[in-house]
Amino acid sequence: MSEEKKTPQDAEETIEQGTPAEETQIPAQEAESAPEAEQQPEEQTAEEAVMTEDAAEDEAEPEEDALSTEEEQNEPPRHTFGNVLSSQKIRRRGISTVFTAVFLAVIILLNVIVSMLSTRFPSINLDLSAQKTNSLTEDALKVVDAVKLPTTITILGPEADVRDNVLYSGYGFNYSQVAVLSDKIKERNSNITVKYIDLDKNPTYASELGETNLTAGCVVVSTEKRHRVLQITDLFSQQTDYTTGAASTYSMVGTALASAISQVNSEKLPVIAFATGHDEIYDTTALQSVLKNASFETVSFNMLTDEIPANAQMVMLASPATDYTPQELKKLDTFLENNKLAADRSLLITFYPSQEALPNLSSFLKEWGIEVPRAMVVERDQSHVAQSDVSFILTQTNVDSTITLNSQSTQYDNVVMPQSSPINLLFTSRDGVTTHTLAQSYDTSYLVDSSSTEETVKNAKQQAYTTVALAQKNLSLDGTIYKQNVIVAGSSPMFAEGVINASAYGNGKYVTDLARYATGETDSNTGILVTPVQTNQVDINLSQAASVILGFGVFTILIPLCVLAAGFVVFLKRRHL
């Protein structure tokens, strides 16, 4: 039994392995405690059990220490606190760099996609111009949508020069509008194509087309039926204010292209012949341009030496300075009574107050119930004048309910008749001829002539005077009724440049509808009214001091400083991550 007691004590001695003094004291203690152990066997047994468990645990500890040592050898070296912070900075910087790279890649990819889409679909490009000069009007869109024939828009010039505004840049023209609007037209209708021809590389193009006046910047619109050339003056114009010397630039690109497309796609173009040979007072270039844009064909002929073109439906005498011979007036009668022309036909004559007396022409008009006195209509009410000029009168249109120029337009806004002669209607109806007032002044107008004095002007009678008159007669051909029309306009300047094509006045639309009525072409959807849009209009007026503050102070100093400060703040924040 004493040997059993020694076993745990020996184990305890092995575990503790204390000082030598402790080792020498252990046997004496065992001797003293032996009788007590015999007296209390149960307590000794519990102590022995505890000692046995402790010994087993002590024997296991070396094994655990060995395993722990192996694990520590296999584990990676632990980082210090500074290393951990450094690792977090690197990780965050790496994530930031990756995020920035991905963001830039997305932006670049998005730009590439948008660029490709804007080239393929030009209509998605926003028109940021103040006057929307890079957009097509509603009327132009209707013309483009109606195209059924293969139509080609040929722009004469290198494509790069056209798109980069190289052509006519010295004149202040934004020629790239031609390319932009042509692309939008092409996108809208697959029957329309756009191409570019450099005349320097293809010098025979003009002769092949049969044109002798083609230059860089011209646009040729063509179909199998016909072609039309748009000169640079058909696309852009420039006007100078002689009081200030400032030049204003106007664009007609969108409506001019749509007009040419309409013209080359029309089944038939009514022909309007302009008579020459009598020193006509007014240039008809602007009027002919308006009529061409409305899908009319214009030709010129000499009344003295030429016959009236057989296919002409309207003849115009533009304020002749000399009288016509009986033979010439006979040509006019023959034209109006032509039984081979299965269409309405008209004679349009314009007058001017200072015009010399034309007795032969006056006798011809009296047969049609029209007389034109040598006087001028002026307006007393300032609300019925334009440009603060009493002779620049506003007129009333569609005053005769029996004559409608266009069923869709019951009134025309701001139709002006500058320096208009009055027109007298000699009868209402006689010998099959009926007379009508197409336009008249307001009842606050009066007449002046070369004999007028201050006293006569003060006491002049105020009334409405006819400014545009119509005499009409029916002609029956093969059971069909056609109209013979004689139309007289008291104002020649109403057809002049700056009036007939000015967007502020309704003269262009009124004259266009008048021509359609005169030729029997009452479809108002044919052709389009070309209206110039100012492209260099000043929207904001700044003083010189304000310009310096805005340009130098804000954009040169303030904004760069703000950007620099923002960048410095971001740098400091990123530095302490």
Residue 6 CA: distances (Å) to CA of 29, 31, 56, 278 = 12, 11, 16, 155
Q: Could you tell me if 437 and 399 are in contact, meaning their C-beta atoms sit under 8 angstroms apart? A: yes
- Same domain for 37 and 110? no
Q: What is the tens place of the pLDDT at every residue in 303-353?
A: 999 999 999 999 999 999 999 999 999 999 999 999 888 899 999 999 999
Residues 237, 195 within the same domain: yes
Q: What is the mean pLDDT of residues 108-130?
A: 68
pTM of the model: 0.67
Of the two residues 496 and 542, the one the predictor is more confident about is: 496
pLDDT of residue 5 exceeding 50: no
**Token duo for residue 174:** 């934004």
Q: Enumerate the β-bridge partners of residue 155.
A: 196, 219
State how far the Cα of 264 lies from the Cα of 252, in Å rounded to an integer. 18
Q: Cα(284)–Cα(274) distance, rounded to whole angstroms?
A: 8
Please indicate, yes or no, whether residues 415 and 484 belong to a single structural domain of this protein.
yes
Q: Which amino acid is at 301?
A: F
What SS3 class is residue 272? strand
Co-location of 248 and 369 in the same domain: no
Rg, the chain, Cα only: 50
Task: Tell me the two tokens of residue 524.
Answer: 């108002």
H helices of 373-463, in order, are: 454-458
Ranking 103-117, 225-239, 414-428 by mean pLDDT, the lowest is 103-117
Q: Cα separations (Å) of 212 from 151, 229, 282, 559?
A: 22, 11, 26, 55
Phi, psi of 175 (to 5 degrees): -65, -20
Residue where one domain finishes, among candidates 11, 46, 74: 74
Same structural domain, 329 and 365: yes
Which parts of 492-556 fold into alpha helices (H)?
A: 507-519, 544-548
3-state secondary structure of 115: helix
Same domain, 281 and 246: no
Q: What is the mean pLDDT of residues 28-35?
A: 44
Domain assignment of residue 434, yes or no: yes
**HEC states along 207-238?**
HHHCCCCCCCCCEEEECCCCEEEECHHHHEEE
**Quick one: pLDDT band at residue 27, thresholds 50, 70, 90?**
very low
Instruction: Look up residue 378 and give its amino acid.
Output: V
Query: For residue 81, is it within any domain?
Result: no
Is 226 a residue whose pLDDT tops 50?
A: yes
Q: Does any domain span residue 403?
A: yes
Together in a domain, 63 and 107 = no
Is residue 573, in this structure, part of any structural domain at all? yes
State the average pLDDT for the chain.
Answer: 81
Q: Are residues 254 and 393 in the same domain?
A: no
Burial label, 168 (beta-carbon count in 10 A; 0-12, 13-18, 19+): middle
Tokens of 252: 């007609």
Cβ atoms of 143 and 160 within 8 Å: the answer is no
Split at pLDDT 50, 70, 90, the class of 111 is confident
In this predicted model, what pLDDT tens digit does every residue of 240-276 receive, in sequence order? 665 666 778 888 899 899 989 998 998 888 999 999 9
Same domain? For 178 and 100 the reply is no
pLDDT at residue 9, rounded to an integer: 46
Measured distance CA(540)–CA(524) in Å, rounded? 38
- Residue 324 and residue 354 in one domain: yes
pLDDT single digits (tens) 350-368: 999 999 999 999 999 999 9
H-state helical runs in 266-394: 285-293, 326-336, 359-367
Name the one residue in this structure whose structure tokens are 């932006």: 107
In a domain, 526, yes or no: no
| Total Cβ atoms within 10 A of residue 400 | 15
| Number of folded domains that form the chain | 5
For residue 132, what pLDDT band results from cuts at 50, 70 and 90? low
Tell me the pLDDT tens digit for each residue of 42-98: 444 444 544 555 555 555 455 555 545 555 555 555 555 456 556 776 777 777 788
Judgement on whether residues 284 and 374 belong to the same structural domain of the protein:
yes
Q: What pLDDT does 90 receive?
A: 73
Q: Which residue has the tokens 């309405």?
A: 344
Q: What is the CATH number of the domain that holds 476?
A: 3.40.50
At residue 547, the pLDDT reads 64
At residue 11, the pLDDT reads 44
Residue 447 lies in a domain: yes
Tens-place pLDDT, residues 367-412:
999 999 999 999 999 999 998 899 999 999 988 888 988 877 767 8
Strand runs labelled E in 141-226: 151-156, 192-197, 219-222
Q: Give tens-digit pLDDT for 457-466.
A: 999 999 999 9
Residues 135 and 210 in one domain: yes
- pLDDT for residue 555: 72
The H or E element that residue 360 is part of is helix 359-367
Q: Is the pLDDT reported for residue 118 higher than 70? A: no
Task: Examine residue 485 and state whether it is found in any structural domain, yes or no.
Answer: yes
Residue 285 counted as domain residue: yes
Nearest CA to 519 out of 361, 297, 355 is that of 297
Alpha helices in 237-352 (DSSP H): 253-265, 285-293, 326-336
Distances (CA, A) of 409 to 127, 230, 487, 505: 30, 29, 20, 15
**More confident site: 104 or 247:** 104
Expressed as residue numbers, the domain containing 311 is: 271-520
- Is the model's pLDDT at 558 over the cut of 70? yes
DSSP state of 558: I
